[in-house]
Amino acid sequence: EIKESEGGGGQGDAAKNIIGKFGVGFYSSFMVAEDVKVFSRKRGEEQGHCWTMNKSDGSYSIAAAQGVQPGTKIVLTLREDCADFADVKKVRECVTRFSTFVSFPIQVNGSQVNDVRALWLEDPGKVSEEDHSGLYKHLANAWDEPLYTLMYRADAPIDIKSVFYVPARSSEAFGQRQTEVNVNLHSRRVLIQKNAKDLLPEYLRFVKGVVDSEDLPLSISRETMQDKALMAKLKSVLTKRILRWLNDEAKNNPDKYKSFYDNFALHIKEGVAMDQANNKALITLLRYNTTAVGDNEEVPLQAYVDRMSEDQDTIYYLVCSDRKSGLASPYYEAFKARGIEVVLCYALHDEIVMGNTQKFGDKKLESIEVAEPPAKAEDKWE
């Protein structure tokens, strides 16, 4: 493959893309071993062979070997500073971290270590809630059940096979430290980057899951992505899909979405303030109390728009500490007198959220602290 690309000057790209095609992790043996030998015998043949690398010049030799069992065996003589890789606990840890989802069984001392299914590669219709529960708990190190589950696949503009989960509760709700990103990046089932912080925007840090793509060019360490533009495209596609998913859930099951919003409203508002590219999709996820609904009811801005008169072109809001103070505000009196509904925002950060929103569809957003109420019909003719 590399030789075929030499004529086009693409040898470097071919060398990067071919990494990992000769067996999962085989090349990493040279990072920890003084000596590497590969014994191999084809089933049905009597003669086995031994492949040995010469570390002095990088050459290798292949010689006949006796007593070789059918299959392949790799024997490493570890360097002194890498002796911990001979410890069973360390080996299990490495397999669990990087190769949990590899399709063939990996055994350590006769016991299979990788026993979790890569559900994102399976037919969504054949994956049960129990299966998803098990994978979610494995990924998130959680004991609860996921509130939402999404399996997403795409072939263009980039190959994506993924599964995402939203927990029932936010770990940040009770003043705990900010949650880290908990979406892992895989290629062909093998872990490339755990908690890939550049895979989703920070405000979606509550999402758990796995993204697997065969389009990813990888460095030899499997730690750094070589193509930042490709990662940016992956992030854009996934973010849009997750926000569309949440909007669909909000429409299909408002009561369930209320449970989500009660826990993750701050994350959504953070997104509205920070992510201009996805601002429209995020705004539709917002929920607020208004002067036209019950004390504890929260509605989307679209519900406000649906109740507006035809000649009203502005959504009016007020940032206040609670409903009582909002209804008693002198700024609200003129709007109340004209029968104008006002959105009531009870968090100080809503000032930033609304300031960054500015428009919802073709409607402007203005604070009643600075806006004049629209004139009555009779006022316009005076």
Among 280, 158, 278, 163, which Cα is nearest to 229's? Answer: 158
Identify the pLDDT of residue 116.
Answer: 87
- At residue 361, φ and ψ (nearest 5 deg) are 65, -125
Q: Which residue has the higher pLDDT, 152 or 377?
A: 152
Quickly list H helices, the chain.
2-5, 11-17, 29-32, 88-98, 129-140, 228-252, 254-274, 279-283, 301-307, 323-327, 330-337, 350-357, 377-380
Lowest mean pLDDT among 216-225, 245-254, 279-288, 317-326: 216-225
Give yes or no for residue 98 having a pLDDT over 90: no
Q: Is pTM, for the whole model, over 0.95?
A: no
- At residue 106, φ and ψ (nearest 5 deg) are -115, 120
Identify the pLDDT of residue 214.
Answer: 85
- The mean per-residue pLDDT over the stretch 180-184 comes to 87
Give yes or no for residue 212 having a pLDDT over 50: yes
- The mean per-residue pLDDT over the stretch 357-382 comes to 77
C-alpha Rg value of the chain to the nearest Å = 29
Among 291, 368, 371, which Cα is nearest to 324's? Answer: 291
- For the chain, give the mean pLDDT: 86
| Digit-coded pLDDT (tens) for 324-363 | 999 999 999 999 999 999 999 999 899 999 988 888 999 9
pLDDT band at residue 6 using 50, 70 and 90 as cut-offs = very low
- The mean per-residue pLDDT over the stretch 143-163 comes to 93
- The mean per-residue pLDDT over the stretch 156-172 comes to 91
Rounded to the nearest 5 degrees, what angle is found at the Cα of 269, between the Cα atoms of 238 and 175?
Answer: 105
Q: Which residue has the higher pLDDT, 16 or 216?
A: 216
Spatial contact of 267 and 274, defined as CB atoms under 8 Å apart: no
For residue 339, give both structure tokens. Answer: 């029968």
Interatomic CA distance for residues 306 and 2, integer angstroms? 61
Identify the pLDDT of residue 256.
Answer: 97
Lowest mean pLDDT among 59-63, 71-75, 224-228, 322-326: 224-228
Among 298, 296, 334, which Cα is nearest to 316's? Answer: 334
Instruction: Give the DSSP letter of residue 225.
Output: B
Identify the pLDDT of residue 174.
Answer: 59
Give yes or no for residue 3 having a pLDDT over 50: no
DSSP 3-state helix, strand, coil percentages of the chain (rounded to 5)?
Answer: 40, 25, 40
